[in-house]
Structure 1
Amino acid sequence: MPALNALKAFEAAGTTGSFTRAAELLNVTQSAVSRQVRQLEEQLGETLFSRRHQHLVLTPSGRVLLRALQQSFDKIELTVRAISQKNDVNRLRINVPPTFAARWLVPRLGRLREAFAQLDLSITTRVDDGITDSNRLDCAVRFGDGEWNNLESTLLMHERHIAVASPALLDREGVDTPVDLNRFTLLHVLSGEDQRYLTWQHWLDAARIEGVDTDNGHEFDLLDLSIQAAIDGMGITIADRHMITAELASGQLRQVLDVEVEGRQSYWFVLRPEQRASGTQRLFQQWLQAEAAASASR
């Protein structure tokens, strides 16, 4: 086996594409990294990098080795972390959608503390923080249709879509019957790059409103941003009623027409199949389900 230092030097250089940046990460000199990689290449009898001006390009052999090392180092890191944290039985590491975290989960954490004072959460909202290949997460909340490979899903709640805007905007423009939505800016939420969720069209179909230009308007990659834009009087958005309970109660937002549509996607509590839900996970899942049921009933 090659020396571990040489493998680590190569992995850092391959990840950064630079001996200099790899040296900064490893807190060694640039010449030390270069020498370790050169010795590794001599031992393997293969060239791992094509040296280009200002950067490194992996050869086919280099790409194969880098992929294997990254997976191996990640597994070592996760295993060490799992061992060091095994006694932290009252902490749950969860990943949830950003809007769900900000508008639904965090405002309820006080009630979670009252119910289970011993339970601590570590919450992340990064989209790429996947539970399927990460021992760092104990559970997650996912938004979708409930069908994910290698995950067990339990339904928490369905979306309930309503059209909302700031009262000041509606009072200024006036909302006649039938309402002329073309007088307002429509606020949209993106489901991906250059692709919107179809919530506006579904709501318009349910309201039996035709002739509305849905091509124009502002777009946001988070529902939270679209809601905030509506609060600030920028236009009308379609939002999940569960996510704007406080704003409706305080009068920051007002519903436009008495039309509510069940969303095509929902929020789910998910675990890896190989996980046996611990007592802490079960407590948190049951609390989430109870809070979701209460939210739906209200």
Structure 2
Amino acid sequence: MARQTMRSKTLYHNILRLLPTFEAAARRESFTLAGEEVGLSQSSVSKQIIQLESRLGQPLFARAHKQISLTPAGDRLLRAYSAAASQIIDALEDLIQDRSRQQIVLSTSTANATFMLLPRVAEVRECFGGGEIFVVTADPQGIEPTGQVDLVFTFGEPDFPGLTLRPLFSDIMTPVCSPEFLEKNGPLLKVTDLQNCELLYMQAQHPSWVGWRQWLREFSLEPPKNQRTMGFNNYYNLIQACLAGQGVALGYLRVLGELLEAGRLVTPLPEFRQTEDKYHIAWPSHRPPDFPIQRFEEWLTRRYGGPIKGFSLSGD
């Protein structure tokens, strides 16, 4: 079997080396013109075509007086060769572009990408002076551990080693719900009213994430027992359920700013908890960015680091 496989590889290799001459002859419809293109004499081109036809066991050209034309087998081979050559050209163009362009791989969480960066993607692109941006999402912290990432935008100090961190600003957490949910289940006037609501929760996947239990204990309360509720392992999905009127979620207001401004979510209570953790930008310590990050840092701080209407933070 191994010898047969080796013979097959040798056969196909011998055939492949003849294909450029065949393609030139088929395209130019002349052995003479094909020879001028590939640097062979007319007779050498003719010999190579005969070798190819012999190995394939059928004619590829119909010969007439000083004229050649493709047979059905030749036409089939030309179409297959042209398609393969087109794929090779596409791959070469991609490789050349990859070498010449500057691609910035920006990693963040699904929620940060969806709610903070993508709604203002034109502004994000301006921060990097026209460089190509490839956005990678990874949960829970937004750090893609492949080693190919150039810049990270994350909440909480990353667990991954080898990153240089630059802290930005903290956030605040307060209950959020859709206006429709509030109209149907409200009013919510004090924290104890939450005990009569379905509290949507996210499974803690990192110490930086605060759940209902920790948040309610700030106000000397415990989550209601035996309550039917929904849980998620992804903050984006949690907020989608909240938008659909399925319950109350703990809202990170910097993340949800666009939804709050649009009135799709509301904050029914004045009580809140300021996060101990902050948002960060980070990059591999062994490979500092070779592009400016100051504009992106300034944009994040200007757009998301300022005062939050109706709430007062300390320490930022």
> Structure 2 length normalisation: TM-score?
0.58
Q: Aligned Cα RMSD in Å?
A: 3.6
Distance 2:258 2:144 in 1: 30
Q: CA deviation at 1:191?
A: 2.5
The amino acid across from 1:274 in the alignment is H
1:225 paired with 2:237, answer yes
Partner in structure 1 of residue 195 of structure 2: 182
The amino acid across from 1:278 in the alignment is D
1:161 paired with 2:173, answer yes
Partner in structure 2 of residue 191 of structure 1: 204
Please give the secondary structure, in 1, of the residue aligned with 2:288: coil
- The equivalences for 1:244-283 within 5 A come to 244-283=256-295
Q: How many residues are treated as equivalent by the alignment? A: 218
Q: After superposition, what is the alpha-carbon deviation per residue over 1:42-92, rounded to whole angstroms, capped at 9, x for unaligned?
A: xxxxxxxxxxxxxxxxxxxxxxxxxxxxxxxxxxxxxxx999745323x31
User: What are structure 1's unaligned runs of at least 5 residues?
Assistant: 1-28, 33-80
Please give the secondary structure, in 2, of the residue aligned with 1:242: coil
Q: CA deviation at 1:116?
A: 5.3
1:92 paired with 2:104, answer yes
Distance 1:258 1:214 in 2: 27
Q: CA deviation at 1:249?
A: 1.9
Distance 2:118 2:280 in 1: 17
- The percent identity for this pair of structures is 19
Q: After superposition, what is the alpha-carbon deviation per residue over 1:130-178, rounded to whole angstroms, capped at 9, x for unaligned?
A: 66652x3211123323564211111133231110111222222222544
Partner in structure 2 of residue 119 of structure 1: 131
Q: After superposition, what is the alpha-carbon deviation per residue over 1:228-286, rounded to whole angstroms, capped at 9, x for unaligned?
A: 11111100000100121122222221213101212243321111111233233444344
1:237 paired with 2:249, answer yes
Partner in structure 2 of residue 293 of structure 1: 305
> Structure 1 length normalisation: TM-score?
0.61
Please give the secondary structure, in 2, of the residue aligned with 1:213: coil
The amino acid across from 1:140 in the alignment is V
Q: After superposition, what is the alpha-carbon deviation per residue over 1:196-224, rounded to whole angstroms, capped at 9, x for unaligned?
A: 95421232123444563387521111111
Partner in structure 2 of residue 143 of structure 1: 155
* Structure 1 residues 287 and 230: CA distance shift in structure 2, 3 A: same
The structure in which a higher percent of residues are strand is 1
Partner in structure 1 of residue 224 of structure 2: 212
Distance 1:214 1:159 in 2: 30
The amino acid across from 1:189 in the alignment is M
* Structure 1 residues 267 and 258: CA distance shift in structure 2, 3 A: same
User: What are structure 2's unaligned runs of at least 5 residues?
Assistant: 6-93, 310-316
Task: Give 1 or 2 for the bigger CA radius of gyration.
Answer: 2
Q: After superposition, what is the alpha-carbon deviation per residue over 1:94-139, rounded to whole angstroms, capped at 9, x for unaligned?
A: 11111000000111222234555523311011349966652x3211
* Structure 1 residues 210 and 124: CA distance shift in structure 2, 3 A: closer
